[in-house]
Structure 1
Amino acid sequence: MSFFYLSPVKGNLPVHLLEEITTSRFQYLQDLVEGNNIAYNQFIVEGSIYDNVGHFMLCVAAILNKNVALTKFILKGEVELFKRRVGSLTAYDMRCFSKKLLRNIKKYDKIPSFIVPLQSLCQHLMLKDVAQHFCASAHMKECSQHHIKIHFRHCLPFIAKRQVEVQQGIALLPCGKWKQYLVLLFTMNIKSRLGNTDLTPLRSDPRINELLFRIRKETSILQNSRSEIRTLKSVDVDSVSASFPPCMLNLHRYLRNKHRLSHTQRFYYSLFLKDIGLNVNEAVDFWRAEYRQAPNGKHSCCHNWEKDEKKYLYGIRHMYGLEGGRKNYTSYNCKQIQSTDISCLEGGCPFKSFDEDNMMKILGLRRDDLLLSQINELKSKNMYTSACILFLEKKCSIVCDNTMSFNFSPVNFFQKSTSKI
């Protein structure tokens, strides 16, 4: 079993032990990130069943909660733990680590894009002389005694910093960069898992819901501590809206213009704001400011804040799991939004529901833009999510994993467009 976490362990565990493993790992990562003294923890022994279970259960919690703070924290903590582990491996340990990874890779039917260079790197590191050279205390980051050949698209961060030599599309990655590259591939593995895993069936499992409740309590402590994760303020929504996905940007502009949204679209937009950091108090301030204003033009919604304050307060608190059945609602993904029957013009996926003129307007594109023709080609094939991801890549000058379209969501778009990781 490898601490690269390519696949989860199978078996049964009592629920109380599962909770203890997961919360213990969360606290361990928090100490690690904050630089506190690290005590021995039986659940974090590398390569153990508990270690594997704890990692995957924290990922489950992040996916189901769709909490930006929790997702970034888990990513940062797991990457830091991986760095420490890789840095302490002896030559023998490195060879064992590489052999285990190669055995796991063989089990894949369809391998993610980052597996190809990982496999090449492990094939080198399992060699005795290479592992001894790589793990030697005197090994320098500038060393270039050994190289691996990988396609340039698998090491774009190194190419951007001119740290590798490229010949006919093939990058030569020197051994001095291999540890850094292992960390990059590990980060891609976790990001792919957090962004592309559909766990919808688990939402109805009371055991998982109880575990999520425990994790949310730990997360609230994390958010209240000094952290680099900032809570989104209601007064800052306008400024961050430039990073919104087109569907949510459209709802934001419509709301600012009309001061009203239909019930379904208000529900979608509220959950999106919640999942990118707008807490319940800021949400109350945000919607109060809008619904105290008179509707601009005709609209199906005839409510206002002064008359229906109790109703709106209950609705907002209900979405945050503070009223009613105390279910912590999460925002919808792209497929769910695209499958919704759009009975009003204010919402929906622009790549599916808008005509070309309105889509161009919300995307900020001209008719002669090459990107527009590429998007229209994807639209003609009903590949609406792929069109959105293409727009994200061009807008932010990034390269997304080719499996990202599975379970992609507006929150994923916002995280990618604002991420500095």
Structure 2
Amino acid sequence: MSFFYLSPVKGDMPVHLLETIVIKRLEYLRAILRQDSAVYCEYVLEGSIYDNVGHFMLCVVSILGEYSGVTHFFLKAELELFKKRISSLSPYDMRSFAKKLLRTIRKHENTPPFIEPLQVLCRHLMLKDIAQHICSSTHSNDCAFHSISIHFKHCLPFVARRSVELDNGLAILPCGVWKQYLMHLFTTNLRNRINKSNLSGLKSDPRVMEILMKIKHELPIVIMNTGEHKLTSQTVDVSSRYFPPCMLNLHQYLRKKHRLSHSQRFYYSLFLKDIGMSVGEAIDFWRTEYQQSPNSHSCCHNWQKDEKKFVYGIRHMYGLEGGRKNYTSVNCQRIQNSDTSCSEGGCPFKSFDNQKMIQVLNSQTKMTNTMMSQICELKRKHQYTSACVLYLQKCLESSDCDNVSFNFTPVKYYMLASKSKSMEFEES
């Protein structure tokens, strides 16, 4: 098996062992990000069944967990692990790695677009002379002794950084950047799997959901200890440029009126929690708003009078009070199906008229008439999630979020909007 993880292993495994594999992998990935000394772990042995199972089970957690902090941690940590592995390969191991990938690719009938350049690269890496050259200790990132030609659309980050030359639509990749390009393809493969896999059927499997709940108790500790993905009460306004329209509308309304209705405050609080706001920062954030007098809002609550109630409610959402249930933010379907007739929230693509919807959308990016027409048409057809995905593509000026509506949530929107560009450049 290859640590590129093109396909999962098949077979049976006890649930308790599966849980152990995932927890141990999480701990190992945390150590990788913290740059701690590498410790032997039988569950992360390169190319082993345990290694494969742990990777794909964490993919399941990222897809079903609907928590951007987890997904960002997973993407970055797995990329660091892949980088560590690919950098330590001997010429023989590099050739074996390339041959295994090519054998795996031949078994797949329907392959995503990035497989084509991966095949081209592997056919070169399996050659003895090239493998020895690439794995040499003196090989530098500026080396151009060997090169491959691929369509420019398969290496857009390298084109943007002017790391490659273009010739009639083909990008000439020198051997000095081949390992970086492998990391780019690895990330593309991983993000493609997380964004486009429909695993909704697994939610009815109690074994999977039990493991998911146990892992969720470990995840906040793991992510907190890596220092990843923090959102503070002072940076919410800056981060709001990446908010989905439904949450951006609540944020703007809160800043203007200094109050939200109970259900919308609950939805918005969970969204902020799941994109990285700690319980302390959440208390500071809501204190700042509710200490102010409401602006044309019927809410009679204020922080001075109801501080204990507010603090308890916030801590309860973080699993620190009451039944200690760790709540997660709601998905798009829940928002679209909620009754918003007496509230300021809801999905703008469903609950707002065209004028109000366009007003919210234009506050993030200026919409063209063509884009407005396409979104309004999807709204008319009740394809609200598709309209939101189309709007996200416009904001990113990218098609990276194609076919993500299977598992689409406000948190996933934020994750794609805030991390799509930065992840591309973290690979180098």
TM tier relative to shorter chain: 0.7 to 0.9
Moved more, 364-373 or 151-160: 364-373
Higher relative contact order (CA 8 A, sep 6+): 2
Aligned amino acid, residue 277 of structure 2 = L
- Deviation at residue 2 of structure 1 after TM alignment: 1.1
State the Cα RMSD in Å: 3.3
CA deviation map 1:98-128 (0-9, x unaligned): 2332333344454333233223322333345
In the alignment, the residues of structure 2 paired with residue 102 and residue 339 of structure 1 have an alpha-carbon distance, to the nearest angstrom, of: 46
Aligned amino acid, residue 32 of structure 2 = L
Q: TM-score when scaled to structure 1?
A: 0.84
In the alignment, the residues of structure 2 paired with residue 307 and residue 202 of structure 1 have an alpha-carbon distance, to the nearest angstrom, of: 45
Whether the 8 Å contact between 1:113 and 1:402 is mirrored in structure 2 is no
Distance 1:76 1:366, change over 3 A: closer
Instruction: Work out whether 1:363 is the aligned partner of 2:329.
Output: no
Q: TM-score when scaled to structure 2?
A: 0.83
CA deviation map 1:289-344 (0-9, x unaligned): 54565554365x66666776666555434432344554322223334433445434
- Deviation at residue 50 of structure 1 after TM alignment: 0.6
Corresponding position of 2:426:
none
Aligned amino acid, residue 351 of structure 2 = S
State how 1:35-46 maps to structure 2 within 5 Å. Answer: 35-46=35-46
Corresponding position of 2:395:
395
Corresponding position of 1:252:
251
Gaps in structure 2 of 5+ consecutive residues? 424-428
Aligned amino acid, residue 247 of structure 2 = M
Whether the 8 Å contact between 1:95 and 1:126 is mirrored in structure 2 is yes
Corresponding position of 1:34:
34
Whether the 8 Å contact between 2:69 and 2:274 is mirrored in structure 1 is no
Whether the 8 Å contact between 1:196 and 1:408 is mirrored in structure 2 is no
Corresponding position of 1:195:
195
CA deviation map 1:331-384 (0-9, x unaligned): 233344334454346223223433332122112266765543454455456554
3-state SS, counterpart of residue 234 of structure 1: coil
Corresponding position of 2:170:
170
In the alignment, the residues of structure 1 paired with residue 77 and residue 252 of structure 2 have an alpha-carbon distance, to the nearest angstrom, of: 36
State how 1:238-277 maps to structure 2 within 5 Å. Answer: 238-277=237-276
Instruction: Work out whether 1:406 is the aligned partner of 2:406.
Output: yes
Whether the 8 Å contact between 2:393 and 2:401 is mirrored in structure 1 is no
Whether the 8 Å contact between 1:75 and 1:190 is mirrored in structure 2 is yes
In the alignment, the residues of structure 1 paired with residue 317 and residue 76 of structure 2 have an alpha-carbon distance, to the nearest angstrom, of: 28
CA deviation map 1:248-296 (0-9, x unaligned): 0101122233344344433321221110112233334434554565554
In the alignment, the residues of structure 2 paired with residue 271 and residue 247 of structure 1 have an alpha-carbon distance, to the nearest angstrom, of: 13
Aligned amino acid, residue 255 of structure 1 = L
Whether the 8 Å contact between 2:26 and 2:222 is mirrored in structure 1 is no
Distance 1:33 1:112, change over 3 A: same
In the alignment, the residues of structure 1 paired with residue 33 and residue 54 of structure 2 have an alpha-carbon distance, to the nearest angstrom, of: 17
In the alignment, the residues of structure 2 paired with residue 384 and residue 55 of structure 1 have an alpha-carbon distance, to the nearest angstrom, of: 33
Distance 1:90 1:359, change over 3 A: same
Whether the 8 Å contact between 1:91 and 1:128 is mirrored in structure 2 is yes
Distance 1:401 1:73, change over 3 A: same
In the alignment, the residues of structure 2 paired with residue 262 and residue 214 of structure 1 have an alpha-carbon distance, to the nearest angstrom, of: 32
Distance 1:45 1:366, change over 3 A: closer
In the alignment, the residues of structure 1 paired with residue 140 and residue 285 of structure 2 have an alpha-carbon distance, to the nearest angstrom, of: 53
Moved more, 311-320 or 347-356: 311-320
Distance 1:42 1:290, change over 3 A: same
In the alignment, the residues of structure 2 paired with residue 26 and residue 184 of structure 1 have an alpha-carbon distance, to the nearest angstrom, of: 22
In the alignment, the residues of structure 2 paired with residue 289 and residue 142 of structure 1 have an alpha-carbon distance, to the nearest angstrom, of: 52
Moved more, 173-182 or 316-325: 316-325
Instruction: Work out whether 1:278 is the aligned partner of 2:277.
Output: yes
Whether the 8 Å contact between 1:335 and 1:407 is mirrored in structure 2 is no
Whether the 8 Å contact between 2:99 and 2:126 is mirrored in structure 1 is yes
Corresponding position of 1:4:
4
Distance 1:306 1:163, change over 3 A: closer
- Deviation at residue 51 of structure 1 after TM alignment: 0.6
Aligned amino acid, residue 282 of structure 2 = A
Aligned amino acid, residue 86 of structure 1 = I
In the alignment, the residues of structure 2 paired with residue 110 and residue 329 of structure 1 have an alpha-carbon distance, to the nearest angstrom, of: 38
Moved more, 111-120 or 339-348: 339-348
**2:347 is matched with which residue: 326, 346, 349?**
349
Q: Identity of counterpart residues, as a percentage?
A: 58
Corresponding position of 2:156:
156
Whether the 8 Å contact between 1:251 and 1:346 is mirrored in structure 2 is yes
3-state SS, counterpart of residue 166 of structure 1: strand
In the alignment of these two chains, the number of paired residues is 419
3-state SS, counterpart of residue 171 of structure 2: strand
- Deviation at residue 95 of structure 1 after TM alignment: 3.2
In the alignment, the residues of structure 2 paired with residue 112 and residue 328 of structure 1 have an alpha-carbon distance, to the nearest angstrom, of: 36
3-state SS, counterpart of residue 149 of structure 1: strand
Distance 1:368 1:349, change over 3 A: same
